[in-house]
Structure 1
Amino acid sequence: MTNVNKTVKLSNKDRNILVRAPFIGAGDDASALKLLEAAAIVTFDPRHILFRENDPAEHLYCVLNGFVRIYRLNKDGREADIRVCGPGDTFNECLICGSDRYRYNAQTAESTTLARFELPRIRNMIEQEPGVAKAVMQCLSNSLLNAMDCVANDRLQTAPQRVANYLITSGPHGATSYSLRLPFQKSLLAGKLGLAPEALSRAFSTLRDAGVTVRGRVVQVNDIGALRQI
């Protein structure tokens, strides 16, 4: 894994993101401190492959800045996004007590800063520190619940409903209309919502009747009430 820009010190902003992540924040102060000390802060260029499916599993990650695509490839090379991880999200928790090989591929979507933890070190800490074990269990529980929510949304929501829900939850609380700049390219949003790019485009077209207009990465929501009725 080359093309790491640099290893950097943990800034106050990065520390605040880490301590709010369930992987660290669910434990006591002593375990949180030990986990913070175990973190290596690294930055990567855009589109850097962090690891590939079936590579030996080495690290657990928490995103501090930027976005990471988690995806699978079929035998024909077709990609399917499983998850898009942003600041505060962790990934590879499933490998702490599971497989010794990565189960998917991971690639940075832009210049990205990550907290990286060595899996063997985390496993040793779990055995020795009850607080760390509690934090990891909370993190695994959250991951399972989020995965179940994603499956439910995929089965219960249409493509326009998924996009509408994203716009509603991403907008300012209490606003009836607002302008939203997508934090990443629309192709990445499609993967995040479990849609093909062309399905996302059709969904945005459908939402025009609800007052949604799109110009590049800027989305204008003119009637949040109408959007909630989708």
Structure 2
Amino acid sequence: MREGERPEIAKLPLFAEMKEEQRERVFSASHLQVFPPQLILFDVGQKPDFLYVLVDGLIELFTTNGDRDSTMAIVEPVSSFILAALVTNQPFLMSARTLQSSRVMLIPADLLRDVIKQDGALMQEAMRELAVGYRHMVRTLTDMKLRQSTERLGNFLLLESHKRNGAMNLQLRGEKKLLASLLGMTPENLSRALSALAKHGVSVAGGNITITDHDALVTFARPDPFLDGVEVQSPFGSS
């Protein structure tokens, strides 16, 4: 890793509270690499050689079964991914590919496992990331089981708006089929769901989605602060 890149990476939650000598040990053995779009970083069943930290770009985590594949998560910067496989030294349960040109930090797995044992701050942050990942999985399963597909899409749009500080105009990340796969829908079902949301405060123009009536969408999708992890409120205040 080049010297000028280290301050940027050191700000990541996983490394921020580490002992300086242990952080230097990790950084000295790691490197940043730029990968082109649609490149497979690793496949299901491989043992983890590195921890991956996405610094810039977009990564898809997905699984396959025969000729079917399903998007499990979209990784946005700045965040690590596949920490559980590294900590347990077990084969990957998901594959990963770049959706756009991506800058990724590669940390040797054996080294990081050793440093986790020696650095309490790193161990605590690794535990926190694993716990957050588990809770996200539970929320995703709950969403799939308790909401119909159109409600699931509406709730997804509300959560995306919340993540973007209440933005009402949302740009789809990648193609619509990627969003459909992420939400457990076929592309055809996604198109029908988008059309159905027109009467609940959503308009669509290509890859641009606009929430035209936030309160109507909230009433339809019924976001839950416990199940979804955030409290979605109207950006215009309570009435």
Q: TM-score, normalised by structure 2?
A: 0.79
Residue 19, structure 1, aligned to residue 29, structure 2: no
Q: Secondary structure at the match of 1:96?
A: helix
Equivalent of 2:86, from 96, 102, 112? 96
Q: Which residue of 2 aligns with 1:216?
A: 206
Q: 1:37 to 1:194 in 2, by over 3 A?
A: farther
Q: Which residue of 2 aligns with 1:119?
A: 109
Q: How does 1:1-230 map to 2 (within 5 A)?
A: 11=5, 15=8, 19-21=11-13, 23-25=14-16, 27-28=17-18, 30=20, 33-34=23-24, 35=26, 39-74=30-65, 76-171=66-161, 173=165, 178-230=168-220
Q: 1:194 to 1:90 in 2, by over 3 A?
A: farther
Distance 1:31 1:211 in 2: 53
Offset of 1:31 from its aligned partner?
A: 7.7
Q: Secondary structure at the match of 2:111?
A: helix
Task: Name the amino acid aligned to 1:148.
Answer: V
Structure with more contact order per residue of length (Cα contacts < 8 Å, sep ≥ 6)? 1
Distance 1:203 1:68 in 2: 25
Offset of 1:192 from its aligned partner?
A: 2.8
Using the aligned pairs only, state the percent identity: 23
Q: Secondary structure at the match of 2:143?
A: helix
Task: Name the amino acid aligned to 1:205.
Answer: S
Superposed CA RMSD:
2.5
Question: How far does the alpha carbon of each residue in 1:147-191 deviate from its partner, in whole angstroms, 9 at most, with x for none?
Answer: 11111111112222222122222235457xx32222332222223
Long gaps (5+) in structure 2? 221-239
Q: Which residue of 2 aligns with 1:3?
A: none
Distance 1:120 1:174 in 2: 41
Task: Name the amino acid aligned to 1:85.
Answer: V
Is the 2:35–2:101 Cα contact (8 Å) retained in structure 1?
Answer: yes
Query: What is the aligned residue count?
Result: 217
Distance 2:214 2:71 in 1: 28
After the TM superposition, which parts of structure 1 deviate over 6 Å for at least 4 consecutive aligned residues?
none
Q: 1:132 to 1:68 in 2, by over 3 A?
A: same
Task: Name the amino acid aligned to 1:118.
Answer: P
Task: Name the amino acid aligned to 1:126.
Answer: I
Q: 1:157 to 1:72 in 2, by over 3 A?
A: same
Offset of 1:206 from its aligned partner?
A: 1.0
Distance 1:87 1:190 in 2: 22
Q: 1:94 to 1:10 in 2, by over 3 A?
A: farther
* Range 192-201 or range 217-226, more displaced: 192-201
